[in-house]
Structures are given as C-alpha cells and as structure tokens.
Structure 1
Amino acid sequence: MITSLKVLKQISPEQKFMASVIIVNGGNYLYNLLLGRILGPEQFADAALLITFLLVLSFIAMTFQLSTAKFSVIFENGIFNNFINIIHKYAAITGIVFGFLIITFAGQLQQLFNTQTSLMFILFGIGVPLYFVMSVNRGFFQGIKKFDKLAITYQGEMISRLLLTLALIYIVNLQSSILVALGIALSFVFGLFPFHSEGVQPFKKYQLPIAENKYILKFFILTAFYELSQIIINNSDILLVKHYFDTYNAGLYASLALIGRVVYFVAWMFVMLLLPKVVQRQKDGLSSASILFKYVFYITLLSTSIVIGCYFFPEFVINIMFGKQYISMAPLLWKYAIATSLFAISNIFAYYFLSLDQYIPVIISSLLGILQVVLIILFHDSLLQVVIMQIVAMGILLIFQLLFFAGYQKIAAKHLTKG
C-alpha cells in the first residue's frame, strides 16, 4: 500500500492527464462502438451524424479553449481578470448564436443529411451554449496546468454521455437519434464541473489595453481560421458521404471513420500538453523544437503501429469493434488509417507553429482542407475513391508542413548565429 502511494506521488500531473485522456478516448470509443452494435448501420448513420456535429462543435469551441489557455500563461493579475471575463462573455454569446441557428434550420439540416427527424438537431442546439462556456473553463485549467481538474471535466462529459445515452435507449421508447441527441446535450452539463468561478462576473463591463486586445484578436481569428480547416479536414468526408451515399453505406463508412480516427484522438492528448509548454518556453526565450520532436515521434510510432495492425488484421478489428454487419469495410481500413495518420502528424506541426504565432501553416492547412472537399466532390464513385482522395490531400499537407518546418529552423539558426 505504501509503495503504491509512493509510485502515485512520483507520477507527474501531465502523466496523470495523459492517462485520463486515454480513458476518456476509450470511453468515447466504447460509446460509439456500442451505438454501432446496438443500432445497426442504418440507425447508426444518424447517430454518427450527431457525433460528427459534436466534433464540429468541439473544433469551433476549441478556438476559445486554446485562446484561454495561451493567455492564461501570458497575462497576469488585473489584465488576466479582465480577459477571462471578456472571453466568458463572448463564448456564451457565440454558443447562443450557434445553438439558435441549429434550432432554426433543423428542418433544412434534416433534408440535407437525409435524417429521420429534425428534433435531433433541436435538442442538440439547446445544449450548444453550455459547450462553449465549458471550453473556456477547460482552457483556464489547461493554461495554468491544472491537469487534474481538466481531466475531471472530460471524464464527467464522457461518462455521463455514455451512461445517459445507453439508459435512454433501453428505457425510453423513442427514435434512437432523438435519444442520442438528448444524451449529448445533457452530458455538457456534467462537463462544466469543476467550474472555476473565482472572479468571473461576465455581466460586468471589462476592457483590455489596446496592445493586448490586438494580440488576442489576432490569435483568436487565426486560431478560428485553423479550427475551421480542422472541421473541414476531419469531418467533411462523413458529411459528404452522408449526402452522396445511401443511409446503409453512410453507416458503414461511419464505422470505418471511427476506427481509423483512433490515431487522431490520441494525438489530441499531445496537443493539449504541447501548447502551454511551447508558449511558456517562448515567453522564457528558450527553444521548443525538442518538445515538437518528442511528440512527433510518439504520434509517428503510434500511427505506424495502427496502420500495420489494420493492414494485417482488418476483419478481426472490425468484427471485434462493430460486428459482422460492418465487415465489408475491412479492405478500406488500413487505407483510412493512413489518411488519419498523415493528418495527425501534420496537426502536431500546425499547433506547434500556432503556439509560436507562425500562421503560414494555418493557411496551408485550410487550403488543403478545401482541396480535400473538392477532390471528394469530384471523385466519389465509391467509398474507396473517397478514402484515396483523403490520402492524397493529407500527404500533400504533411509535405508542406515539413518543408515549412525546415525553412523555419534555418531562419532560427541564422538569427542565433547573428546573436
């Protein structure tokens, strides 16, 4: 017992957070897998669409989370107090606007994505404002490196969504997509805890100095621009497949996407740790390239392992995770894993440069996200074509990111030599 306590004390908060992220991602994966098995391909197509909407929402809200995390490191005392209140206010307003739009256009969304009901979008829209407030709260914990509290917010959201959704499906006799939407909306409430309320008074008027205000606005706009590219790259394939293919094939593809994206979900853990470290080292005038190399190595090793596993054991993986009714996707599994692996590695580079206020990779990523959409629109005769188009776009993206990094390092080395 004493030995176990000593071992726990030696584990750093970052390591505990990494373990927590693995548990949360595992729980989210279990949530998707159970829905896929319980609902079957056709009903799972609508559930997967809601999950995709949740991912889109998380990327939009991530602009607020990353901005809060960055400036929680940089700002202090009165300026920080003003900043945290201002960003809480604008996050809530943004959430209300997006929620209102989703509710207002629920009927049109039903027609666009061929869903069985519009009520699923209405219930989802009601919960949207809470998600934005939750993201600012998470950004604060991320910035001040309170990874234990940050972990609890993610765990609360994941566990409540899993248990509530399953309970609703088995107890309530309503359409599954409605129950999934309700489970997602309710999970946002649990994700708000613990909530940092000290000094938060969003109804008061706060101002920031002009220089700080410009810095925040510049970072926020460019981060939002990058998160938009993330939305396009990470979710456009599922949305386009839902539009171009029938419900059955859309459900099959959703299972493929879920398995293939395990690389990206794990890579996100490293992004959460990367940003505050890089910002702090930049603030201290130190090099941060070694941090990047470490995380790129981890993601590359993980990606390679997953691609190899998907290549040699595709039917086993799909059968274990979703069941025999999804087995026709086996030949595509390793190919989709390659696409998501290329994206995950590129993503580490992009967030690294975003932390350093270098925005060319953001523009590159956005252009390649648009290219991916264009390629899928032009070439979607089969699900295989859809996957190949993603490999092409993500391969080009990674090449550009590597070339930019090489150029950036040369410029940095010249500055050091002159210094």
Structure 2
Amino acid sequence: MYSIDVILVKHFFPPQEAGIYSAAALVAKVIFFALMPISQAMFPKIAELKIKKESYSGIFLKSVFMVAGLSAIATAVYLLAPGFVLNLLFGPAYNAAIPLIGLFGLAISLLSVSYVFINYFLASGKTKFSYIMPAFAVVEAVLIWFWHASLFQTVSIIAVTMGAMLLASMANFFFIREKTSV
C-alpha cells in the first residue's frame, strides 16, 4: 500500500513518467506522515483504557476528527495550489506532476483516516478486521496491473481504493459498536 503503486508505475511507464509519478506520490505522502503521530499517540491510550475497562471512544473520535480535519485542509491546499506544494519540495523540474497532486492528496488523506480506524481496531483488541489494509493493498495492485493507461488513471485507482477502505473501516466500526460497547 505504501509503495506498490510506485513499483508498478516504474514497471509500466517510461522512466520520465515514473519519476513524475514518484514526485507526486512523495508530495502526497507528506500528509500521511505528518498525521501518523496522531494515530500512534492514540494507540497506547486506547490500549491502556481497554485494559482498565474504561471508555476510549472519546480519544478515538478526537483522533478521527483531528486527522479528518487536518486531511481536509491539506487536501484543499493540494487541490487549490498543487504547483505551490510541488515546488516546495521539488522545484519547477517536476511541474508535469501538478495534475496529479490534488487527487493524490485526497487519496492519501483517505488512507490517513483509515489508518486511525485500523489502529483503533488493533489497540482495542478488535483484530478480526486487521486484514483490511493488506486486502486493499492487493486490490490496489491488481487494479493498477490491469488499468494503467495514464498516471492519472493510476492515481484515480488509488483514490477509489482508499475511499473503499475507509468506507469498509467505518462500516466495521459501526458494526462493532452495535455488538459491543466502545
């Protein structure tokens, strides 16, 4: 999920296009790595509260809303000023990646919110759903393998896959809430 797309793009596209894609991917992943500490801080707190049999839904919801809110802001910046964002890291040499930045930012934002859910499931001992990320990584790789007419199509596949993973994570969360107290 983290880099299989870059490997497949390198396989299917000429080196120059693969470089453009790699630049866009790196710019987008800034969102994920900037927000990852929120999930990492949430994890031990939820695990501790679970052991104490105390409610941990507040910490989880704060984490989700914080990551979703910051992701929304980052995605808006990526959509409204993709050239600015790209040039901060790479300068004008990679301007061909500008059309990919906004959608890639959205895709990685969806991944970032999913990551909060996945960490919640693991921290709270609800591990039956832990296969979600590897399963969607396989789906993403298969879709890119068969549909890679353009770099934009590849990023679109990632965005759809990340959106589906977030929806599956949310559905699982609400299903768990119905069965147990959080």
Query: Is TM > 0.5 for Structure 1 vs Structure 2?
Result: yes
Please say if 1:285 is aligned against 2:53.
Answer: yes
SS at match of 2:32: helix
- Deviations 1:55-75, CA, capped at 9 Å, x for gaps: xxxxxxxxxxxxxxxxxxxxx
The 5 Å alignment of 1:255-334 reads: 255-334=23-102
SS in structure 2 of the partner of residue 234 of structure 1: coil
Distance 1:340 1:258 in 2: 10
How many Å separate the matches in 2 of 1:317 and 1:327? Answer: 11
Q: Which amino acid in the other structure matches residue 400 of structure 1? A: A
**Structure 1 residues without counterparts, runs of 5 or longer:** 1-232
SS of residue in 2 equivalent to 1:286: coil
Q: 2:85 and 2:32 mapped to 1: Cα distance?
A: 18
Shift of 1:393: 0.8
- Percent identity, aligned pairs only, is 29
Deviations 1:237-284 (A, max 9, x none): 111112212222111111101111122102211122112111110111
Q: Give the structure 2 partner of residue 374 of structure 1.
A: 142
User: Is 2:120 aligned against 1:352?
Assistant: yes
SS of residue in 1 equivalent to 2:135: helix
- Post-superposition Cα deviations, 1:58-93, rounded to whole Å, max 9, x if no partner, equal xxxxxxxxxxxxxxxxxxxxxxxxxxxxxxxxxxxx
Query: 1:35-184 maps to which residues of 2 (within 5 A)?
Result: none
Higher alpha-carbon Rg: 1
Where does residue 246 of structure 1 map in the other structure? 14
Return the offset for 1:365: 2.3
Q: Deviation at 1:294?
A: 0.7
Corresponding residue number in structure 2 for 1:407: 175
Hey, what's the Cα distance between the residues in 2 that align with 1:311 and 1:391?
Answer: 14
Matched residues in 2 for 1:286 and 1:403: separation?
A: 23
Q: Specify which structure has the bigger relative contact order, considering alpha-carbon pairs within 8 angstroms and separated by 6 or more residues.
A: 2
| AA of the residue aligned to 1:399 | L
Shift of 1:310: 1.2
- Displacement of 1:361 in angstroms is 2.3
Task: Give the drift of 1:363.
Answer: 1.8
SS at structure 2 position matched to 1:398: helix
Q: Distance in 1 between matches of 2:88 and 2:58?
A: 38
Letter in 2 for 1:297: F
Partner Cα separation in structure 2 for residue 289 and residue 370 of structure 1? 30
The residue identity in structure 2 corresponding to 1:278 is I
TM-score, normalised by the number of residues in structure 1: 0.42
Q: Secondary structure at the match of 2:53?
A: coil
What residue identity is the alignment partner of 1:408?
A: I
Aligned-pair Cα RMSD in Å? 1.4
Amino acid at match of 1:411: K
Deviation at 1:302, TM superposition (A): 1.0
Give structure 1 regions of 4+ aligned residues with deviation exceeding 3 angstroms.
none
Quote the offset at 1:319 in angstroms.
2.2
2:108 pairs, out of 330, 340, 355, with: 340
The 10-residue stretch of structure 1 (358-367 or 341-350) with the greater mean CA deviation from structure 2: 358-367
**Match for residue 158 of structure 2?**
390
- Runs of at least 5 residues in structure 2 that lack an aligned partner in the other structure: none
Per-residue CA distance 1:191-222 (angstroms, 9 max, x = gap)? xxxxxxxxxxxxxxxxxxxxxxxxxxxxxxxx
| Helix, strand or coil at the partner of 2:78 | helix
Shift of 1:360: 2.8
TM-score by length of 2: 0.95
